[in-house]
Structure formats: structure tokens, C-alpha cells
Structure 1
Amino acid sequence: GGGFGGGGGFGGFPGLDGGPGLLGAGTGVGFGLQGSSPWVPSAQSGLQRKTKVKQRGRENIQPGLAWSSRQGDQRTALAEGTRFSRIRLKLKGVAPTLAPSRSRDRKKKARADDDDGGRGEKADIKRLRRQISQKSTQDEEEEMAQAGMDQYRVAPGRPASLELNKFEVGSWVEHREDASTWRLAIVRSQQQAGGQLQYTIQLEPVEQNRHKQTGVPHADLRMACSHPECKKHALHLAALPLFCDRCRKALMSTPQQRVYFQEKEAVESGQSLRLCSTCVGSLRAELKSKGQAGLDAEVQKFTRDLPQGADRQSLVLETLEETALPQRAENSDAPILSTDIDTRWAQCAGCFKWWHWVCAMYVETQYKNGRPFYCRGCAPKHERLSDELQSLLENNDATKLTQIPMGEFIEEQVRSDLEEAKIDCTPITIRIVSSLLMNSYTPERLVEHQQALGESYPREFPYKSKALLAFQKRDGLDVCLFALYVQEYGSDCPEPNKNRVYISYLDSVRYFESEPMGHRSTVYHSILVAYLQWTRMLGFKYVHIWVEPPKSGDEYIFFARSDQQRKPMKREKLREWYKGMLDKAKAKNVVEHYGTMHDMFNGLKSLAEIPLFHGDQWEITVPSLLGLDDEEYVSAPKSNKLVRMDSKDVVQKAQQEMQHLKRHFLVAVLRDPDLSPMKDNDPVISTDLTDSRQTFLGQCQMCHWQFNTLRHAQYSTRMILNHIHNKPSYCVEDCQRGRVEDGSFMVGCDVCDNWYHGDCVGISKDEANTMDSYLCARCRALDESGGLDEGGGGS
């Protein structure tokens, strides 16, 4: 099986230092042992079947003790929070998470028969969620349509109409030579002739085009970007990943996939089904063997979890037409580009030349309240560095993100390691951008099964979910180079997860710069070893890594990396990279020894000894070994007899599975700390953008924060930094805790996905455990008033 697997799905290309280069690790959720995987639409629930209201945090935490990042302007907080939570619904083709498939001997998967396709949500909750999602998407589309030319930020005093906004002398433009050909030129002069504006231009390169063309009308010119490394009009956007609506497989994962199928008449409405060739063939066979009724039943099954408008009662196969997939150009070091171009432009208020937002590093929220945009050449002459401007500029700087002890320790260790290795580079900035108190819930049938065998098993495992980002300045601008998501199961967590760390996700981009070159692995190893050293000082004992290389074309945390970084890495190469990191940790007396899961659990006596991490492959494998399919549990009535199996037989099957997967997992045993374990005093940190890998990737895709070029990476990093600095608020307006995530117990609305402190809405954890769902006051009011049925939205 391939995919962005748990704990280690690293991919990449040969590193400049002769070792394996890094691409990314999609872990914690991912493809499993065989084939493809079902789509799990909930970014928060991951692999867990929803059996109770969404929860996180702990009870009995006093308000006012929370750390919070710089609040910034909170006026758009509610809208921003809603937009973040809507990503997975808005991006129909983007699967935010993929669940591991079942074990190799399970060829048939049970299908749930409840109203919500097995997700465990009630039909009314699903209806409300769909209506809010549809309304939110409609509002955004209408807003964009009404904006029209609003994508062009015109300088103060200049005409809003581009036909009247003349090109200044010295501006780069593109000249139309025929219906399909444009050539780069520079404006040499402008004049009025017959009441019309005309230009004298000189084609590029000027050394070969001494002749100047005169009398060129405005209509034959279009703007070109003033960035010296751009100088073009069309800046193509990376294509969003496409997924088959039936099997959920990526449509662009292999070069052999050239086409897919969609309905002819529904394409423009955005409600067309998207199907791969294999599924179309399967549906045709279904029609032939079972008739239209059998085909309709199958269509209803696979479309009921899709956004509203894509689900349907039937499908006429004759309406499907073959559509070419976007293809990467041959020998191209770039992601697959769509036919859409970036239409976001800003005009300098000093020289009146035009810039792409990406090329100008233009952050729209920093130009509210009438602040004009000045390009890099004009800003020093025209813009005074006031206190207000200085505060805005700090939002662009990674070093201005609040530092906490864990980040400070890792940053210092990385600096020391690079200095010892005599690597000269711009300093690496490390920041912890998310630290949440979470719970991973055990599948109910697994608990019941263990109890039937006379063994107790925890119903939930509390853990800390943390996210780390690493930055380096390139040409004075921050670039996000590396991302790490981890799960920390501390001493308060019951066995078998107690004092264990799970590496959930890793990702990197190739823009680290040093002298000598080729030390990306050195930096990333240093970050990981420093993190293991930190966890050792906190008293953690074990570190678990899932060695699962990604499939070609998979996205992990960073969106639209270059083609060079999309070449898949073999499992053995990835395994050796991890072993190299662990060997360095051994040399520093951080790791005592490491091995496979089969090595570490050789004396296994019970399945209750196998740790289950949120999103890990074993969270699926263990119930599967018992014959307790998670989907079967949802659809089967509780009166069904539990599967009976001798405990020794189950343990033997688990050991055989570990032997079979011995190259897939690594477990490291940390040395005991030199002193008494420290207390983890790092504060709770929460930003919707970075709290989950799925949301982070989805936001990058929705906003086209791409990493395929250095300039795109610099711009995307700036946008990420501004969102972290100006994070949205939580809870109700009169929140007792300042509308921040402070680690206290919270419940999540099943419709709008916003989170509320339990003590602010009067719900305790015990009460939440008895609730099937929760609707916030706003969504309840909208539902009771009929606002949702009439197209209203909630937040």
C-alpha cells in the first residue's frame, strides 16, 4: 500500500548532500496496507466514527490562565473562522483526509445503511450542515462576482477602469501581435491622437529590437508584472487535486491517467460528478447486470456524502463525457498548472506600475483603511515608518511570533548543530503554532470485545497535538521550510499509550540555503533530534514512526511543490533516512535503542498492549484482527453477538501482522532523563489554520498559497504568518475566557464547526458524553426560524 501514511510518509528526491532529499510526510492518516481508501470528510474526527458530540480540551481549567498570540484586528474573526471550517466542503475535489484501508485479507468492505452513509450523524444535522455550506459557498461566489474588477487594486487618484488607466512610461506591457500571440515590450512614450491614447513601445529584448513601434492603441496592450524576474501577464495557478467521486482516488496520481469523465450539462453549474475510467467501467457493468435500478442504488450510496448538489438519486451514463486531465509539461520543474491565471494585481501609488500580488508580496488586509500600496522601489521614498505601519510589518516576520520554551529549545539546538557542522546559513526560526489538548476515542466494539475477554481497555486516550513550523529568510523574506505535527501521550494517559510520542505528519520544501550547499537533511534531522531530546526531558519513553512513502502527486502540508519534489521515494530509502536521524539521536544519548514493532512487541501477550494513536494504521488494524470492522459496527445493531476469538489466536495474528509489516514501522526507546522529568508548562496554542494538517493544506489550496517557486513560497509564507498573527476568535461574544483556546473543555457545533467552551454554553464533559450532537445557539435559531431552509447561513 502507498499513500501519505502515518508517522512517516516521506517522499522526495536525491538530496544535494548525497543523501535522500525530503519531500514530505503525510502521516497520522493515509493509505493503509492495500489499495485505496474511503474518504473521511471530517478533519477533526479523523479515523474515528462519530459516536458523540465533538469535544476537546480538559475540564476544571481556570479562565484567564491562557496564552494567546497577538490578537490583531478581530473584526473579521467570525467570517474568517467560518471560512477556515468550510474548506473541506468548498473544495469538492480535495479529499482532506484519507483513512487507512483494511487488512489485506479483507476484500469486501461493509457498507453502512443509516441515513448518513455510516458517519453516525443524524439526517437533520447533515441537512443543516449542507445548507450552511451551500449558502456560504454561494455568498462567497456572489461576492467575487460582484467584485468584478475588484481583483485589481488601483492606485489612489487613478481611474478604476483599466481602459482609462494609462500605462506609464517605463512600464512593462505585452503587445498583441495576432489573436493568440503576445510579446513583452516596454512603454517608451504616450501621446493623444484623434482623441485616443496611443503608445510608442519597444519589444524585448531591446538589444535585438532597436526599432520602436508607434501609434499602438491601448486596446492592443495588456499589463505585465513589474517584478524583474516575472515581466509577464499570465501567472498560471496550480491545478487543485482532483479526486474520483466514487472511489476517492486521486485522478492525477499517475502519468497514465489522461482523462476522467463528467456530466456534460452539469459542468457549468459545478454540480457534475467526476469519475475515473475504472469507476465508469464498473458502473456500466452494474447497469448491465442489475439494470437502471441497481445503478441508481449504487449512485445513491457513493454520492450521499458529497456536497449538496452533487448527490443524486440516479445517473444517466450517456451524459458522461471524456475530459482531459491537466498535464505537467515535459521536463517541467513545476506543478500541474490549470488554465486559470492569477488575476490579482496591485498598482503602485508612486510609479503607477502594475504588480502581481504574489510578486509584490501584497497582503490585502494590510492595505485597508486607505493605506496605498508602494512597490519596493517607491516605498522608501513615499512611506513613512509609523508605529502603525511597524505593527503591520511585524505580521510578516516569523521571529515576531510568540516563542515558547519548546520552540526556543529546538531553535537553539538547531543553531548549535549547524555551527558545529560548520554550516553557514541565515538563522532557522522555529515556532510552535499549535498545542492542543485532545482525546482519541477507542472504537466501542474493541472496548466491548476486550471486556468480554475479561480485560479492561480505555475508552479514550488524552494527548497533546502540537504543530511546529521552521522558517528561514531568503532575500529578507521568510520562507516556511518544514512542518511537523506530533501527538504526545503523557503520564496522565492510560496504558498502552502512556508516555509515548507519535510523529503524525512531516513536510518540507527545498528552499533551505546554506554554504556549503546540500544540508537540508542536516537541518531536518537536527529539528527531529532536538524534539526527541525535549520529549525525553519531559519523561516520554517511546517514539513511534510509520515509515510510509507517499504516492506520486500526493499533497501533504505544503501545496503545489515543484515536480522535482514529487518523485516518489522508496520505502527502504525513507527507512534509512529515519534510521540516520535515530542514529544521530543515539550518538547524543537521546535514544537508547530502536527497532521494528515486531522487535519491540516480541513478547506480546494481549492486544491491549498495542498502543493506538489517533489516525495510525494500528487504530484500524487491531479491530480488523478481531473481525470488528468499524463500518460493520455502525450499521449492525448492538444486539448482534460479539465476535468470539481466543485471546492467544488474536495475539498470534497480531505478531504475524507485525512481522509482515516490520519494514513499515520504527519504535525508538528514549533514554531516561538525567534529572527528574520536567513538567510541560508550554501553554495551549490554537489557530484554526494550523490546528490540523487538513485545514492548513485546504486553506493553501483554496487561496493558492503555492510553493512551486521561491517567490510563491515567500508570498505563501507571508500569508500564513499574517493568518497566524491575526487568528480568529472562538466561542460566544461574551466568552468568559477571552474567546481564545486555553485548553479548557470545548464542544463543537455539528453544523458550523465552530468551537465553544463548555462552561460558556453550560455543557459539562459528562453531559457531552451523553449527547449525540450539538448545535450552537446561532444555528439553532436559524433552523427554528427556517432561515436555513430558505437559504440562510450560519457561523
Structure 2
Amino acid sequence: MLGHKDSSFRSSSATPSPPSSSAPSPAPIRRRDPRYAAVRRKVCFDAPSRTADKGRSDGVEIGRDERTTGIAGEDIPKSALKKKQDYGITDIECEPWVQCDRCDAWQHQICSLFNERKNKAKQSEYICPTCLLDGIGNGEQLLSQTTVIGAKDLPTTRLSDHVEEWLAQHLNKERQERARSLGKSFDEVPGAEDLFVRVVSSVKKTVEVKQLFRKNFQEQDYSSEFPYKSKAILLFQKIEGADVCLFAMYVQEFGSECPQPNTRRVSISYIDSVKYFRPDIKAASGESLRTFVYHHVLLGYLSYCKMCGFTSCYIWVCPPLKRDDYILYCHPEIQKMPKLDKLRQWYHAMIHKAKEEKIVVGCSNLYDDFFLPTKECNAKITATRLPYFDNDYWPEEAEVILQKFENESTTNRQKSSTRRALKAAKRDTTQATPGDQNDVLLMHELGQLIRPVKENFIMIHLQHFCSQCCEPILSGKDRHPIDSEEHSFYMVEVGKVPSNTDDKDRTMASDIFETRMAFLNFCQANHYEFGTLRRAKHSSLMVLYLLHTSKCNVCSSTIEPAEGFHCQTCPAYNVCDSCHQKEGVAPHDHRLILRSTICRFLSQSRLMKQKLHLLNMAKKLNLMLQKIEESE
């Protein structure tokens, strides 16, 4: 509800009206620290100030007796102080304000969805919602005609299109089932609308093998690094006219070109969400519709991975500690963080759906797949077979264990325990090298750590694995037992798995989304919180604005959304209007097009996809009707 025109603009980062009393030279209260507020006074201070020493520069002193606290020369009874604690910077008295240029009323910038970054020059006019409504009633055109660019206008990828289409199809099916169970028509039951899935970061990275692990296994041609593609995926929903980021996910994709043991493996590193999804109702299955949607975002992603030729997906189930954030900064107080067992159940419920959808062929855990010897598997039990993911549990623990081995001399190490470990691993105790000994002992100690909590390290199999060599079956025919009956097999034709896992999606670099910590730190530094719906709206607005803006490759100035020029061949090359107009200033080998043209093209292409989808549905319906008529 903002109007931007070329005019003078006034904003304030402090509370301008009404004036409030405060201690002189107040020190900032740290986030989440307890604070005390004086009843009927606009004064608050932190816990240490309540028992402050004399001579403090912020005006907080000990009162005339122990029952009072002195604030700027006034004694306030401690009984009149109310203890408060904010989850994030949510005190509305500390928020920045903006003044209407028509009625001079002050509004919170967050409530007004005001974009302070866009108004660096202080030359835009702000019109409050009341004046806008009055103007519309009088027939005035107060809002500018510029296109509002939101989540749906972000660039799409094959992955985002696949997940979004998957989600839409299953939501439509769920709504039909819910309507049928309630005895109502499709339109009579509420459904989830205005959902947009976007990949906001897709960059090539490398996880380097830690020093001691690399040193111990260098003779086995173990790779020193594993290349992968890191992706950040967001789910937005338009709520009350504003885009809100509801769900975020970071994944690691190790492709077909990556060395073993990471070849064709995927890791879901982090997921996070905030509880604002609409409508807040139960799905036909009995679970919340919110859970249904988040599960199907993951199912759509796993379906895409299977289609691209990935063979397995790894999930380390590890909920955040209380008050900690993984991706989104601050969560609603009413949103309960799941305990470990609940989160594990949540993932397994998703995996059960994936099996029903024929996406997943099996599910196990890291310990059973790589630590536990079986009669059928001929593969060697060794640390070099463990998938090596970035920021994972076992590589960190392995480095600690190997450091302990280095600190111990060979003579001090218990030979009997070494022999027992080698024998258990079916290694020749007489010809075992120091490297073999370290490998066996490392797997033994890692196994002791992982075995009690093995259910937290989920291995999802997207393709069948050979029971003999434990390698994925990528082509040909697969034979496996029926209902675990010994030596009873039936044949399964393995679908054609792509020889290359590259999905041809372009690289999408984003400074703020490069890692989950980069985004979290960015939100913390700018107070972009998701703890309340109004803050989530404003934070999402600012994130979308930054995703739509670019830096000029010539003068480094900020290019606003739908402004400037862009190279379709070089995705990272953008030029502002000023540099483009100056002859010879911005030479480039490829043709540059208007960024506004890209926005229009994206909108038109989405409409075209919708039309094609409707045409395909109509063709299928006509074919079905023809078959029915022929049968009659």
C-alpha cells in the first residue's frame, strides 16, 4: 500500500511521535536478553541495570533503598517493573517509522511494507493506507502504474517448474478427495493458492576432504575433494496480498562426474519453515495441509533427482536447539520446534509417501548400509565407502578419532583390541598395514558412535542397489527376492537412468543465499525476522527486492527491478541505463536486452504453460469421451 513518486520523503529510524521518555544515552539491549519495563512509563532497561552500580552513564542507578531503581533521578519501585523478553527485535517502540506526505501521520515501516533500501535518495512520496483509500474514493490515481515484482517473477528453472507442477497436481487431487469425503463440490472446499517454488541459488562448490582422513587414505586413490552443486529452494505464498517465504531448503547434489563414494548422491542439508501457511486446515489424509504441502515439496524434489539419475538421498535428522535458527531468522512463538523423534517420524512419513509414489525403492540408514556386514554383500567395510558430505556428522568425528590415533604411539595402542577389530572386519591380522589398522579401528569407533542413533542418519534409495557388490543398478534387469523369501526372485526392468545427472539449469549465484549461514547472518544484521506475520511479510519483501536487483558490471551501481539491460548469454552481466547510453562505456560481445522485457517474457511464458496444460487436459478428456462413446 505504498505509492512512490518523485517528491520529498521523510523517514525515521527512531520513534518520532509520540515522544517517549528514556534514560540518557541508553545502551542497546541485546537480542533475547531479559529486560524490565516500568509500568505506565516508556522506559525499559536490561537485567544488569536493575542492580546497577552508581556512576553508570545511561542514567540507571540504585535507588534510595534496595526496593527501588533510579532512572534519570526518579526512583521507580522494583515491584512496578515487569520482566519481558523478546524473541528477536519485536518491540514495536524500537521499530523505524515513516511519515505520510499527505496527512503527516506516522506509520511503522514494517507495517507499511516500506522498502527503505529503494528510497536511498529520499525522493519518493509515501502515502499512508488511509489517504490511499480516501483518494480511491475520490477517484484519484495515487498509486504508480509500475509493475509490482514478486516471487512469481523470479526466474524459473527446470527444478522449480517440476516441483511447482508436482505440488499443484497433488494439491488439486487432495482437494478433490476432501470435497468428496465432505460431500461437497470442489469449489466449496478451501484450497491452497498462490504457491510459488523458486531456486534462488545454484552454484558449483567443492567439499575438501579433511587433512587427517586424506593422509590416512591417500594410498587408496581416495579423492582429495568432491565437487557438488549447492542449491537453495524457497516456497512462497501470497498472503493478504503480500508474498511470504514459508519454507526454505538447502541441498547438495553430487553428480555422475563426482568420484566415488559420492557419485550420484544427494544430501538434504537443511530445511526450515514458519507457520503461516493458509488455509490452516486438515488435509483429506488427516494431517495438516501445511505438512501435506511441505512433504510434497520434498517429494517433488526427490522425484526430480530420480529423473536426473541420482541414486540415493541422505538426511541427517538433527532438529535445532531451542531459540536457534537454521535458515529463517526468528520463528513464531506459537510454533513448536519438533523434538528428535517427532522430526524423524515426519521424515519417515514423507518417505512412506515417496514409496507409494514409486519414487523411493527402499530406505535404510548409514550404519546398516556401510558398517554392518551381511552374508550377501561382498563390498569391503571401509571408511572410503562412506559418502562424504559437506558439514556432515561423521567426517568431523572421524578427524577427532584419527587425531587421537596420531597422538597414540603404535606400541601404546592395545594390540589385542586391534587384532579383534581386524578379525571382526575379516582382515588378515598378519599382513595388515598401519593404514588398514587405522581404517578398521576408525570404522569400529565410528560405528560405536553411530549405532545407538543410527535411525537419525537416513539413506533413501532412489534406485535399486545390487545385494552382492552394493552398487546402484543403472541399467539392465534387476532380480531380487519376493517378500524376503530365500532364493525366490522375480525380474524387474530397471528404467533407463540418464548417463549424466546434469539438469542443464543455469548457475544462479546469490551472495545472500550462498550458504544458509550467509542468509541467516544477512537477516540478523538487517533485522529481517519471521517471528510475526507482519515481519515475515516485510522480510520477504526485502529479500525479493534484493533478488530482483542487480549490480551494474560497469559502475557497480544498484539496478532496480525491471530496469537496465541484461545479457542472456552471460547470466551475471547487467548494465544500468546510464552506462548503456554512453557509447563505448559498456562494450560487450553479446546482445543486451531490457530487463523489463525479461519480466514480461517470464509472465507470458507462465501463461503459455498454463494454456498448454489446459489444452493437453482437454485433449485427454476428448480422447476419454471418444473411447466411452465407442464402447457404447
Please give the range of the TM-score, normalised by the shorter of the 2 chains: 0.5 to 0.7
Aligned to 2:292: 522
CA contact (8 A) 2:6 2:124 kept: no
1:460 is displaced (CA, Å) by: 0.6
Q: Secondary structure at the match of 2:233?
A: strand
Change (3 A) 1:595 1:344: same
Q: Secondary structure at the match of 2:361?
A: strand
Q: Answer yes or no: is 1:427 the counterpart of 2:194.
A: yes
CA contact (8 A) 1:239 1:338 kept: no
Aligned-partner Cα distance in 1 for 2:406–2:541: 42
Q: Secondary structure at the match of 2:455?
A: coil
1:616 is displaced (CA, Å) by: 0.6
Aligned to 1:346: 98
Aligned-partner Cα distance in 2 for 1:484–1:539: 21
Higher helix fraction (1 or 2): 2
Q: Equivalent of 1:578, from 329, 347, 360?
A: 347
Amino acid at match of 1:666: I
Aligned to 1:414: 167
Deviations 1:157-202 (A, max 9, x none): 799999xx9xxxxxxx7598xx79xxxxxxxxxxxxxxxxxxxxxx
1:434 is displaced (CA, Å) by: 0.1
Change (3 A) 1:628 1:646: closer
Aligned to 1:229: none
Amino acid at match of 2:209: T
Q: Answer yes or no: is 1:614 the counterpart of 2:390.
A: yes
Aligned-partner Cα distance in 2 for 1:740–1:716: 32
Aligned-partner Cα distance in 1 for 2:455–2:554: 45
Q: Answer yes or no: is 1:470 the counterpart of 2:470.
A: no
Mind listing any 5+ residue stretches in structure 1 that lack a counterpart?
A: 1-152, 166-172, 181-236, 243-257, 270-325, 633-641, 745-795
Aligned to 2:455: 663
Aligned-partner Cα distance in 2 for 1:157–1:571: 54
Q: Answer yes or no: is 1:651 the counterpart of 2:403.
A: no
Aligned-partner Cα distance in 1 for 2:127–2:207: 49
Amino acid at match of 2:31: L
Q: Answer yes or no: is 1:438 the counterpart of 2:190.
A: no
Q: Answer yes or no: is 1:544 the counterpart of 2:284.
A: no
Aligned-partner Cα distance in 2 for 1:676–1:405: 18
Aligned-partner Cα distance in 2 for 1:161–1:715: 17
CA contact (8 A) 2:280 2:290 kept: no
Q: Secondary structure at the match of 1:579?
A: helix
Aligned to 1:557: 327
Q: Secondary structure at the match of 2:220?
A: coil
Amino acid at match of 2:393: Q
Q: Answer yes or no: is 1:357 the counterpart of 2:109.
A: yes
Aligned-partner Cα distance in 2 for 1:729–1:539: 38
CA contact (8 A) 1:472 1:481 kept: yes
Larger Cα-atom Rg: 2
1:421 is displaced (CA, Å) by: 1.1
Aligned to 1:119: none
Q: How does 1:498-537 map to 2 (within 5 A)?
A: 498-514=263-279, 516-517=281-282, 518-537=288-307
Change (3 A) 1:385 1:732: closer
1:629 is displaced (CA, Å) by: 8.8
Mind listing any 5+ residue stretches in structure 2 that lack a counterpart?
A: 23-27, 34-46, 59-80, 176-189, 283-287, 374-379, 409-433, 464-473, 475-493, 558-565, 574-632
Q: Secondary structure at the match of 2:164?
A: helix
Aligned-partner Cα distance in 1 for 2:249–2:458: 17
Aligned-residue Cα RMSD (Å) equals: 4.3
Aligned-partner Cα distance in 1 for 2:440–2:12: 78
Q: Answer yes or no: is 1:405 the counterpart of 2:158.
A: yes
**Worse overlay, 686-695 or 342-351:** 342-351
CA contact (8 A) 2:160 2:198 kept: yes
Q: How does 1:757-772 map to 2 (within 5 A)?
A: none
Change (3 A) 1:738 1:408: closer
Aligned to 1:145: none
Aligned to 2:262: 497
Change (3 A) 1:338 1:154: farther
Aligned to 2:525: 702
CA contact (8 A) 2:201 2:514 kept: yes
Aligned-partner Cα distance in 2 for 1:367–1:481: 27
Amino acid at match of 2:102: G
CA contact (8 A) 2:268 2:313 kept: yes
Q: How does 1:134-533 map to 2 (within 5 A)?
A: 240=31, 329=84, 335=87, 341-367=93-119, 370-379=123-132, 381=136, 389-390=146-147, 393-394=148-149, 397-422=150-175, 424-451=191-218, 454-514=219-279, 516-517=281-282, 518-533=288-303
CA contact (8 A) 1:437 1:743 kept: no
Change (3 A) 1:607 1:434: same
CA contact (8 A) 2:9 2:126 kept: no
Change (3 A) 1:698 1:743: same
Aligned to 2:512: 689
CA contact (8 A) 1:468 1:485 kept: yes
CA contact (8 A) 1:685 1:741 kept: no
Q: Secondary structure at the match of 1:478?
A: strand
Change (3 A) 1:516 1:733: closer
Change (3 A) 1:630 1:480: farther
Aligned-partner Cα distance in 2 for 1:413–1:329: 45
Aligned to 1:85: none
Q: Secondary structure at the match of 1:645?
A: helix
1:339 is displaced (CA, Å) by: 7.2
Percent of aligned pairs with the same amino acid: 30
Q: Secondary structure at the match of 2:525?
A: helix
Aligned to 1:589: 358
CA contact (8 A) 1:351 1:378 kept: yes
Amino acid at match of 1:669: H
